[in-house]
Structure 1
């Protein structure tokens, strides 16, 4: 009679399957990503420098020549746009991080361990969202120092930041899919810039879309960055929403679901 497998052996063979292992594995790997960030403080500093530079550049260099209808101070229009830009640029780091771990073989080592496959990607995007929350908070602090004000109460303002964070999480999954597709650090970096720059600058992030040519305005008014920026302004400044809040949520959830499904399928195929 053959010996029965031990309980430990059964656990090892079944580990990595189902929601029971997904949650603890995701939290464990998220902690790993955050510890790596904490041990490389240059990542924290450099990720904060770009949004701060954009705030100071547009506030003091371009802000005097940009007038937006309905805003007495350009900085109240600017900061929500910078926050959305930060969410998009923060997500692009996911592509580089995924491509780097693929090229170094880290992902293959995780595959060989009894780890839930879905947790490997989910932990990456969750850690990126936590880092994004820190960067967004820093942008808000710098914005307050240069004159930004909340005009619409605490809860609407928190709702606006929650929408921006949801959009950033969706972008993390989108760029994770991009990193899995490109699979090289250089390619992921270039592809990230090619995707983020048109979406940021051909939007309402820095100026009203009414000043754009008709063909560009059509694109700018329809794309997600504009909707998320307008939703954040509606909730922080008290502007009319005109459906921007609903469109921002629908765009974010759509990008999140589609990207997460496609990224998970591609990751399972190897």
Structure 2
């Protein structure tokens, strides 16, 4: 331990040992960067359109415009069918912004500034994922509040609703690694959005989110039956409204594990190269 004497004083001030940590933990760094992302979103509220206005438009449009035709005139019955499916599907779609925002930050040079700071290299990525969890929660609250006002009734009670929230957010986090990977290999944020929607739209509309599987052609049913969105939607419906859950829940967890095993390493590798 060495000491130094400030000018004009006779008091000795100890210097820090070489082994004393000079930076905060990765968790604390990620929290700070997640807060940065949320502040940026708060200052640009249009960035929340995809988790506030968009799901409300989808819910109202399909219920009141198409619901009568799809459900044989009963819009209320279609709302019961649609809302759980739309909940799972839109939370998965909300993960598009994760890769898009990371790509934009890299292009603007924000990550060059991060590299000059005494923080872990993975802290910006972890912070972005943490901030995205808040977006998923906002989306869930918006859909449930608007759906309840429209007359939706979750017959399994709050336990089923909370289980649906956990499952949907867990799936979105796993699916989000695709968005991170695309965000790291695409040249622009606009390209990230285009690539991800090219992937998500067939998965969303080629599922049982909006109509029952048995109403589709046989060749399409084969795709719907293996679609991960279909398993997620069926599990959420079962948790909220009752009915079989175990099979779809197992398949959803299998898909989540597969997405993590395949895309998390690819995304981290691409992130290290780019950031």
TM-score (norm 1): 0.88
Measured after TM superposition, the shift of residue 144 of structure 1 is 0.8
The 3 A distance-change label for structure 1 pair 138 and 8 is farther
1:187 maps onto 2:191 in alignment: yes
Structure 2 counterparts to residues 170-249 of structure 1, below 5 A: 170-241=174-245, 243-249=247-253
1:265 maps onto 2:269 in alignment: yes
SS at match of 1:151: coil
For 1:195 and 1:260, how far apart are their aligned partners in 2? 17
For 2:76 and 2:178, how far apart are their aligned partners in 1? 36
SS at match of 1:205: coil
The question of whether the paired residues in 2 share the 8 Å contact of 1:128 and 1:172 is answered with no
Measured after TM superposition, the shift of residue 257 of structure 1 is 4.4
The question of whether the paired residues in 2 share the 8 Å contact of 1:125 and 1:173 is answered with no
* Structure 2: gaps spanning 5 or more residues: 1-14
Please provide the CA RMSD for this pair. Answer: 2.2
Structure 2 counterparts to residues 18-29 of structure 1, below 5 A: 21-29=25-33
Measured after TM superposition, the shift of residue 45 of structure 1 is 4.4
* Cα offsets for 1:12-50 (capped at 9, x unmatched): 7x85xxxx7221111111111111111222223454111
- Structure with higher Rg: it is 2
* Structure 1: gaps spanning 5 or more residues: 1-5
Kindly tell me the number of residue pairs found equivalent between the two proteins. Answer: 258
Q: Which residue pairs with 1:83 in the alignment? A: 87
Q: Which residue pairs with 1:136 in the alignment? A: 140
The question of whether the paired residues in 1 share the 8 Å contact of 2:76 and 2:151 is answered with no
Measured after TM superposition, the shift of residue 256 of structure 1 is 3.4
Q: Which residue pairs with 1:126 in the alignment? A: 130
The question of whether the paired residues in 2 share the 8 Å contact of 1:87 and 1:171 is answered with no
TM-score (norm 2): 0.87
Q: Which residue pairs with 2:56 in the alignment? A: 52
SS at match of 1:117: coil
Q: Which residue pairs with 2:11 in the alignment? A: none
Q: Which residue pairs with 2:257 in the alignment? A: 253
SS at match of 1:239: coil
The 3 A distance-change label for structure 1 pair 209 and 8 is farther
Q: Which residue pairs with 1:74 in the alignment? A: 78
1:153 maps onto 2:157 in alignment: yes
